[in-house]
Amino acid sequence: MKSLLPLACLTLWLSACAGSAPPPPPAASSTPGTTLATPRPTSSPPPTFPLTRNPATPQPSPSATPGCLDDGGRLESGELSDDGLSRNLAFMVYLPPCYDQNPSQRYPVLYMLHGLAEDDHEWIDLGLTGSADRLIHAGVIPPFLIVMPWERTGMDMEVALTEVLVPYVDGHYRTLPQPGKRGVGGLSRGGGWALHIGMRHLDQFGVIGLHSPAPFGIDLAMVPRWVDRQGDVDVPKVWIDIGDRDTLLPSTRNLTRLLDAMAQPYTFVLGSGWHDAAYWSKNVGTYLRWYGAAW
């Protein structure tokens, strides 16, 4: 039985999930970086996205929603209990500007997963929701919901996301429940979860974003099987980015080589930076433009 409980407080999660952390990162690569786009890596400029209002992007009616774009979106917090989870699942939901003023409109949903030893506030602290307000206001991206769950110690995020949170969000918010209108992304360990969950559940997620991902060791061996099993399911849109000084770059290169071997389309961007908040915060706008372009 699922229930929504008030979230009294959000504290920083300081303990790792025992037995489920990714293997230690390989040594940093000394290979000079280039920015690549795939399915077959070739040198190219970084991907670009619209920086001005897109006439095709649906905009709220000024007469029906005066000032709501200027007001920005809002955040809600919640906590779910479920017999399939070892602990309650806390989460934050970003509702885009004009969500309340347009009760007939339905929205895509992006699930964004945090890194190891962080919580459901990490993406907010990195500026993701503030950037979403600005890009939606400018008409650069369409409005969509952003759901940020908290992976507490001992929690199986695959079960938490696919069996508990997604059904809850679709049942309580005005979403577009098709796989092509639902994305999962994450940074570091969250990127490892996004790969694992997204590729194993293409019936739920058609957009997968991996930001400085820390793939679980077993998952690299499973990627060819997951790609091969896509069958009649629509090929997902996949994004991978990482900093050129990130110690996880070798494992990310291994992942892209596997995807190349399976002819799995994806976009790869090698940026400038480390495995840290400075790198992710400067790129949140780029991430949102890529997700938004899918919708």
Under the banding of pLDDT at 50, 70 and 90, the label for residue 234 is: confident
Amino acid at residue number 156? D
Which residue in this structure is represented by tokens 């995807």?
A: 259
Residue with tokens 């099993």: 229
Question: What does 279-295 look like in DSSP terms, one character per residue?
Answer: HHHHHHHHHHHHHHHT-
Indicate the angle between helix axes 189-200 and 217-228, nearest 10 degrees. 30
- Does residue 130 surpass a pLDDT of 60? yes
pLDDT at residue 228, rounded to an integer: 84
In a domain, 101, yes or no: yes
How many domains is the chain partitioned into structurally? Answer: 1
Strand 109-113 to 42-43 pairing: unpaired
User: Which pLDDT band holds residue 67 (cuts at 50, 70, 90)?
Assistant: confident
Weakest-pLDDT range from 163-167, 173-177, 218-222:
218-222
% of residues, the chain, pLDDT over 70: 77
Kindly state whether residue 17 falls inside one of the protein's structural domains.
no
Overall size of the chain counted in residues: 295
Domain membership flag for residue 235: yes
Q: Band the pLDDT of 138: cuts 50, 70, 90.
A: very high
Tell me whether residue 42 is in a domain: no
pLDDT value of position 6: 40
Confidence class of residue 66 from pLDDT cuts 50, 70 and 90? low
- Indicate the pLDDT class of residue 50, thresholds 50, 70 and 90: very low
* Cα separation, 66 vs 83, whole angstroms: 44
Nearest Cα to Cα of residue 173 among 96, 71, 236: 96
- Inside any domain, residue 57: no
Mean pLDDT of the chain: 83
For residue 59, pLDDT beyond 80 = no
Q: What is the percent of the chain with per-residue pLDDT over 90, rounded to a whole number?
A: 73
Domain range for residue 96? 67-293
Residue 3 inside a domain? The answer is no
Is the pLDDT at 43 greater than 50? The verdict is: no
CATH number at residue 195: 3.40.50.1820
In a domain, 152, yes or no: yes
* Residue-level pLDDT at 16: 33
Q: Let me know if residue 49 belongs to a domain.
A: no
197-224 pLDDT, tens digit per residue, is 999 999 999 999 999 999 998 999 999 9
Distance (Å, rounded) from C-alpha 88 to C-alpha 179? 26
